[in-house]
Amino acid sequence: MSNLTETAAGFRISVHAPKRLLYGPGPSQVHPRIYQAMAQPVVGHLDPYFFQISQQVQKGLRTVFGTVNELTLPISATGSGGMETAVSNFIEPGTKLALFVSGFFAERIGEMARRHGAEIVRLEKPWGESFTPEEQVDFIRRERPQVVAFVQAETSTGVFQRSRALCEAAHEVGAIVIADCVTSLGAMPVNIDENGIDVAYSCTQKGLSAPPGLSPVTVSPLALERLKQRKSPNRSWYFDLSLIADYLSESHRYHHTASATLFYALHEALALIDEESLDLRQQRHKIAHDRFVTGIERLGLKMLVAPGQRIWNLNTVLVPEGVNEAKVRAYLLEKHGIEIAGGFGPLAGKIFRIGIMGPLASDDGVDRFLAKFDEAMKETA
């Protein structure tokens, strides 16, 4: 527990959060400049200054998404809210959805789509594997869906899913493509326009290294056409994209009370990326990932995912025989304030999930982690 001071009546009056090193799958380490931005005065959600910030945020998001999509903005919600935005706007009762499933978050898309009345067809693979271009194309040509959804960076397994062939096949049969970029945005090339992705959503607490609370979303002109052709109104009022776009980009009429503080945080995160350049930032994550994998193999450990299919900023390491992963995680947190995560579902107890992102994606950030990780495994053996 952190040190919380209390009133005489036992009421906690002050928060002294412990300083952690966030090496988990997210939230990732927040850059100090982002904390400074968050200490700025709150302005109203209809203040002209808020809309200036919002406009710059939209511009910065187009760069990190790799898109010219006009409709690119942050939803006031975590990554799951972005997922629900994508699902609720582009699926209505009877919509045929082709879903690629090989991990936890693809299942979540399926669950949301089911609640919105989709007719779902699934292509499944064991957790930790990715779909080949041939498998993607065969499935889509066979099923001829209206919407295709996949997870670009599956945080439950560490797999990065390539999607150029998937998007081409989807467009060939008249479908639009939804991509979950929650873990990849800001750390890996998501390349929305180059890949042909129509709708993508992300979060702020992973590759962008800001606190959780906003979910960047981007929508292609083709998907916007689909939105206009809906037969029924979106069953979700809060995530109705036309209402949100009207508030943030068009009339500036009240829709909800957006958090100026979270917009400042995202603005600063995007400014940091702009200063470093997106290319160099992505390269830095790749270099840190390669150094991490070399170090892990030097310790005699193995990665779950095959080379070439791995997420750079979220590594999944197989728990060796005889090691209790829960004990290792508890040791790291208690002794060194380091957070990492374990696996879940079929991978529970079998993997460590280790994020090397944002300010921690450096030689020093990797070496410091590996030294403590090695120590934790020896001390808990």
- Amino acid (1-letter code) at residue 65: F
Distances in Å between the alpha carbon of 121 and those of 89, 144, 145?
19, 10, 8
Q: Is 151 in the site for ligand PLP (CB under 6 A)?
A: yes
**Binding segment toward ligand PLP, per CB under 6 A, in 161-169, 175-183, 188-196, 291-299:** 175-183
Binding mask 60-79 for ligand PLP (x = CB under 6 A): ------------------xx
Near ligand PLP by CB under 6 A: residue from 155, 157, 195, 315: 155
- Please say which residue, 95 or 155, places its beta carbon nearer to ligand PLP: 155
Total residues binding ligand PLP (CB under 6 A): 13
Shortest distance (Å) from residue 378 CB to ligand PLP: 30
Distances in Å between the alpha carbon of 233 and those of 31, 43, 74, 237?
40, 32, 21, 9
Shortest distance (Å) from residue 101 CB to ligand PLP: 13
Shortest distance (Å) from residue 288 CB to ligand PLP: 19
- Please say which residue, 129 or 331, places its beta carbon nearer to ligand PLP: 129
Q: Is 200 in the site for ligand PLP (CB under 6 A)?
A: no
Answer yes or no: are the C-beta atoms of 156 and 345 closer than 8 Å. yes
Closest C-alpha among 309, 283, 83, 73 to residue 181 = 83
Q: Is 259 in the site for ligand PLP (CB under 6 A)?
A: no
β partners of residue 215: 75
Answer yes or no: are the C-beta atoms of 83 and 108 closer than 8 Å. yes
- Please say which residue, 133 or 212, places its beta carbon nearer to ligand PLP: 212
Q: Is 212 in the site for ligand PLP (CB under 6 A)?
A: yes
- Please say which residue, 130 or 155, places its beta carbon nearer to ligand PLP: 155
Give the separation between CA 224 and CA 173, rounded to whole angstroms.
Answer: 18
Distances in Å between the alpha carbon of 148 and those of 73, 169, 198, 210, 377?
22, 10, 10, 29, 42
- Please say which residue, 311 or 377, places its beta carbon nearer to ligand PLP: 311
Dihedral over Cα of 193, 197, 201, 204: its sign:
negative
Q: Is 180 in the site for ligand PLP (CB under 6 A)?
A: yes
- Please say which residue, 311 or 370, places its beta carbon nearer to ligand PLP: 311
Phi, psi of 151 (to 5 degrees): -105, 115
CA count, 13 A, side-chain hemisphere, 239: 25
Shortest distance (Å) from residue 60 CB to ligand PLP: 19
Q: Is 80 in the site for ligand PLP (CB under 6 A)?
A: yes
Answer yes or no: are the C-beta atoms of 354 and 292 closer than 8 Å. yes
- Please say which residue, 82 or 224, places its beta carbon nearer to ligand PLP: 82
Shortest distance (Å) from residue 234 CB to ligand PLP: 19
Answer yes or no: are the C-beta atoms of 238 and 82 closer than 8 Å. no
Cβ neighbours of residue 99 under 8 Å, at least 6 residues apart? 106, 109, 110, 113, 120, 121, 122, 123, 148, 149, 150
- Look at residue 202 and give its three-state secondary structure: coil
- Please say which residue, 210 or 376, places its beta carbon nearer to ligand PLP: 210
- Please say which residue, 30 or 182, places its beta carbon nearer to ligand PLP: 182
Near ligand PLP by CB under 6 A: residue from 37, 83, 177, 332: 83
Token pair belonging to 300: 């005699």
- Please say which residue, 28 or 54, places its beta carbon nearer to ligand PLP: 28
Shortest distance (Å) from residue 13 CB to ligand PLP: 29
Give the separation between CA 61 and CA 59, rounded to whole angstroms.
Answer: 5
Q: Give residues 2-61 in contact with ligand PLP (rule: CB under 6 A).
A: 26
Dihedral over Cα of 59, 60, 61, 65: its sign:
positive
Q: Is 203 in the site for ligand PLP (CB under 6 A)?
A: yes
Phi, psi of 48 (to 5 degrees): -55, -30
Shortest distance (Å) from residue 298 CB to ligand PLP: 28
Q: Give residues 96-125 in contact with ligand PLP (rule: CB under 6 A).
A: 105
Q: Is 187 in the site for ligand PLP (CB under 6 A)?
A: no
* Binding footprint of ligand PLP on the chain (CB under 6 A): 26, 78-80, 83, 105, 151, 155, 180, 182-183, 203, 212
